[in-house]
Amino acid sequence: MRAIFLAVYRFAYTNIIRRLIFRSSAQETHQQMLRLLASLDRSPLFNSLLAAARRLVFPPHECSVGGVRLTNPLILAAGLVKGEGFETEEQAAAAVARGENIIPGWRAMPRLVGPVEFGSFTRHPRLGNPGVIVWRDETTHSTQNRIGLRNPGVKAAAVFLARHRHNLPACFGINIAVSPGITEPDRQEIEIAESFRAFLDQNIRPSWFTLNLSCPNTEDDPGSRQTEEQTRRLCRAALDAIGTDNVPLWVKISPELAPEQYRVLIRVFHETGVQAVIATNTLPRPAPNDPALTAGVGGGKLHAAALEAVCILAREKTLNNYAVDIIGCGGILDGCSYRQFRETGADAAQYWSALVYRGPLAAALIESELQHGNT
Ligand SMILES: Cc1cc2nc3c(=O)[nH]c(=O)nc-3n(C[C@H](O)[C@H](O)[C@H](O)COP(=O)(O)O)c2cc1C
């Protein structure tokens, strides 16, 4: 039954739905998808149907990774369920008070695909970058974006999630990024602590927190946060803020760091008590409409660099017996690209671009291709 459903879905998405969707630009599609998610969130009936669809297409595959019991080892990466942008904290709070859905997809996406990482959220709300900010490259099955950490800020996000606590999924993560432009280490630590506490103080305990040290599309320099000293400070600040609340901490890092930098980072994660590393975020590349700006590349063009990062991290982990799980992320588009990560040492995986090229049930297709050895 599952195999037949997935075969029909694969045919329909690749040959009909994707062709129709790709008549619109990546940016228009992205906005339409968020509007669709917001309306799906509203309907309990649709959410029950989405959950039924998930039970039908996802084989039961529980696993333990990074201190978390996952219903499935393929996690929807941060960046889709991250919320609207606002100029000020007051405006974001007012939208929550009016009952607006400031985080489209919070309810529907986990029902349909299982584990989802919400965010990135920053300490204060951000409108993100103006103009065209999302692209796709169909020949390589890649995406590119410079959304620029558009999000409602941690305070409004936490109040919003608290308001909906009874309908939150059993398994979800919250990804928190350091605000771009904050360079003083002390200020960064305060922001990180306040951001984690914003959720915990509202009694929102996700299955895991991710500290995102690697957002490339804000003209900020994420590389400077991934030095030994800075990473250690930020991880400690996050872990101190989590305190006795007992939520595992994961950290998301960049592709194309020097091999020695990956070796240092995984040692720091082991020493500080970070339970998993997500390798990697997007590749910083010139934006298609303005080479002076940077936009992060995901999908096919990221795959080799992300796999290389996982390879170095996994070797170092085995050599030193580090207690840090590795979550591969970058161009996981089918069973073959997923298998490469698994064989290289990834304990689980995250995906984003696969949603674009293989549709909302991408993870179910990828899992089934891995199981049956076809792509
Ligand atoms: C439109 C878009 C927005 C994203 N926003 C975030 C974000 O806010 N935080 C984050 O950690 N990663 C973000 N990402 C990166 C993804 O989580 C993922 O790391 C990256 O796309 C690589 O995975 P992929 O090759 O499967 O696309 C975003 C990606 C896309 C395409």
- How many CB atoms sit inside 10 A of residue 252's CB? 27
DSSP 177: E
Q: What angle do CA 288, 289, 292 make, to 5 degrees?
A: 85
Q: Which atom of ligand 1 is nearest to the CA of 278?
A: 19
Per-residue pLDDT of 165-191, as tens digits, reads: 999 999 999 999 998 888 888 999 999
Q: What is the pLDDT of residue 177?
A: 95
Rounded to whole angstroms, the Cα distance separating 132 from 93 reads 27
- H-type alpha helices, the chain: 2-12, 18-21, 26-42, 44-57, 89-97, 108-113, 154-163, 185-201, 228-242, 259-272, 303-320, 335-344, 353-358, 362-372
Q: What is the pLDDT of residue 60?
A: 81
Exposed e or buried b for every residue in 319-354, given b needs 16+ CB within 10 A? eeebebbbbbbbbbbbbebbbbbbebbbbbbbbbbb
4 CA distance to ligand 1 centroid (A)?
31
Name the closest-CA residue to atom 2, ligand 1: 79
pLDDT at 154 over 90: yes
Q: Is the CB of 79 under 6 A from ligand 1?
A: yes
Using the structure block, give the residue that is written with the tokens 């760091």. 257
| Paired tokens of 230 | 């800075």
Per-residue pLDDT of 9-29, as tens digits, reads: 999 999 999 999 999 999 999
User: What sign does the dihedral 159-42-207-252 (CA atoms) show?
Assistant: negative
- Among 276, 306, 252, which residue's Cα sits nearest to residue 70? 276
Please say whether the beta carbons of 282 and 300 come within 8 A: no
26 CA distance to ligand 1 centroid (A)?
14
Q: Is the CB of 188 under 6 A from ligand 1?
A: no
Per-residue pLDDT of 18-61, as tens digits, reads: 999 999 999 999 999 999 999 999 999 999 999 999 999 998 88
Report residue 223's pLDDT band, with 50, 70 and 90 as the boundaries.
Answer: low
Per-residue pLDDT of 269-288, as tens digits, reads: 999 999 999 999 999 999 99
Q: Is the CB of 302 under 6 A from ligand 1?
A: yes
Report residue 149's pLDDT band, with 50, 70 and 90 as the boundaries.
Answer: very high
Q: What is the pLDDT of residue 220?
A: 61
Please say whether the beta carbons of 118 and 173 come within 8 A: yes
Specify the CATH class of 2-372 in words: alpha beta
